[in-house]
Structure 1
């Protein structure tokens, strides 16, 4: 419905909040993108409506490429669930330790061993950052002194990773090295909600990894676990074209997400 307002599109959730899910990415959605990932934080003006949404809606969760504990630190709200490392770990409301699939746990040591071997002097000199996400290892080049050279060096790592039997996944200035098993936000969402019958759900994301989350909502609909699904993209200077193509609607940056949360409370 290209002429529909965001309030119109959210109406099915507002009609049955106790049977609806609100699912949100973190970086670029709740928290603005920053050059140093450790500096990311969700503004208080967004946190306040998110708290109210968590009180009103049946399921509220953050779905992030970061570790679940890092996502919770940024959002600073313990009453909601966090799917970390693209859904491969779940930190449930009020708990301390995340849950991880046993098959993924078995791959963790192999992924991290490869990543640490690959993270040699060249990448350190380029100031590429290595992030440990348990079963996933990520190489970030956002904000390095020479992003073009950094990307070229990381492409060599990607070739070696694939030759070694791992799966590579490219995001916005990040390469992830993953085990050859399904890890994506869609699988994480299906795992979280597979036993819940929902009237409606919305997912809000800003990157190519969020396309998997969009498809996860479709999978829940096919299984008869979800009625209405709304896929919202967040526009930025780096918006992937595929996101705009697959989203039902777009909002403008993190300010647009804050307005969406407020609209859920009308």
Structure 2
């Protein structure tokens, strides 16, 4: 059973006191409050300052987001972190950009399909936000009226479009996303980072359906005794219960995450 983090901080002492620990975190809903639109979300100066200090304390601090990697970098604004965008399809380290070559092949198709979707019958649903993220394309329905069933209409439209069916259709918090049909998620990316940096202890924080892939991968690696990990879910009413089951601990919001960062630094 997933436990409330602040009732079990003793379990995290081994991470807190080891400089080889790596801290990996999502952005939206984790270190930034969920906002009505992607561009209005912010990372506060308080969180930013803690990330700077954590970077000095631990071997690696990485930000892993569904946003484009450049957008993630601009939003967080901390030098020296590893930035991972579009669910692991882009990396930015020391201003050096690396994209998944298989995913890159679909960039033109994603852009073409996204433009078509934006001009389809979906455009008549009030409150939809269409976001071109380069390698991926998101349709946000947070501002739509739930009585219009925007999620079902978006999914039906995409599944009925032959071009969309050639891509991967996935979901997040109040959004549906088109992705390249390549084997790449937060779990595979976590695994790659662990291998590349030879990590032994990992703390991961996330708040969404896509973070369950990371939770599951960490659980798998821990069972194989390859690493020691602590996965922290930032709880909300918008995610399915199975996501919580995969995490080690939960917290109740971004304020709790900031409080946890402060505890790690004390």
1:57-84 C-alpha deviation (Å, 9 max, x unpaired) = 0010011110111112221112201110
Cα shift at 1:161:
4.9
Cα shift at 1:222:
6.6
- 2:50 and 2:11 map into 1 onto residues whose CA distance is 18
Cα shift at 1:6:
4.3
What residue is the counterpart of 1:13 in the other structure? 15
Assess, with a 3 A threshold, how the Cα gap between structure 1 residues 66 and 27 changes in structure 2: closer, same or farther: same
Determine helix, strand or coil for the equivalent of 2:87.
coil
Assess, with a 3 A threshold, how the Cα gap between structure 1 residues 32 and 44 changes in structure 2: closer, same or farther: same
Assess, with a 3 A threshold, how the Cα gap between structure 1 residues 118 and 13 changes in structure 2: closer, same or farther: same
| TM-score normalized by the length of structure 2 | 0.90
What residue is the counterpart of 1:59 in the other structure? 60
What residue is the counterpart of 2:252 in the other structure? 252
What residue is the counterpart of 1:178 in the other structure? 179
Unaligned runs of 5+ in 2: none
Kept after mapping to 1: 8 A contact 2:88/2:184: yes
Determine helix, strand or coil for the equivalent of 1:135.
coil
What residue is the counterpart of 1:263 in the other structure? 263
What residue is the counterpart of 1:148 in the other structure? 148
Assess, with a 3 A threshold, how the Cα gap between structure 1 residues 3 and 82 changes in structure 2: closer, same or farther: closer
- 2:146 and 2:118 map into 1 onto residues whose CA distance is 17
Cα shift at 1:145:
4.8
Cα shift at 1:206:
0.7
Cα shift at 1:221:
4.4
Instruction: State the aligned residue count.
Output: 262
What residue is the counterpart of 2:201 in the other structure? 200
Cα shift at 1:8:
1.4
Kept after mapping to 2: 8 A contact 1:21/1:201: yes
Report which stretch shifted further, 160-169 or 115-124: 160-169
Cα shift at 1:54:
1.0
1:112-169 C-alpha deviation (Å, 9 max, x unpaired) = 2122222225322324222122222111111135663432331223313577322211
Cα shift at 1:107:
1.5
Determine helix, strand or coil for the equivalent of 2:265.
coil
Report which stretch shifted further, 140-149 or 164-173: 140-149
Assess, with a 3 A threshold, how the Cα gap between structure 1 residues 146 and 239 changes in structure 2: closer, same or farther: closer
Cα shift at 1:258:
0.4
What residue is the counterpart of 2:227 in the other structure? 227
**Pairwise CA RMSD of aligned residues?**
2.2
What residue is the counterpart of 2:114 in the other structure? 115
1:6-29 C-alpha deviation (Å, 9 max, x unpaired) = 421221212322x11100010000
Assess, with a 3 A threshold, how the Cα gap between structure 1 residues 249 and 50 changes in structure 2: closer, same or farther: same
What residue is the counterpart of 1:89 in the other structure? 90
Cα shift at 1:3:
8.2
Determine helix, strand or coil for the equivalent of 2:88.
coil
Kept after mapping to 2: 8 A contact 1:20/1:200: yes
Unaligned runs of 5+ in 1: none
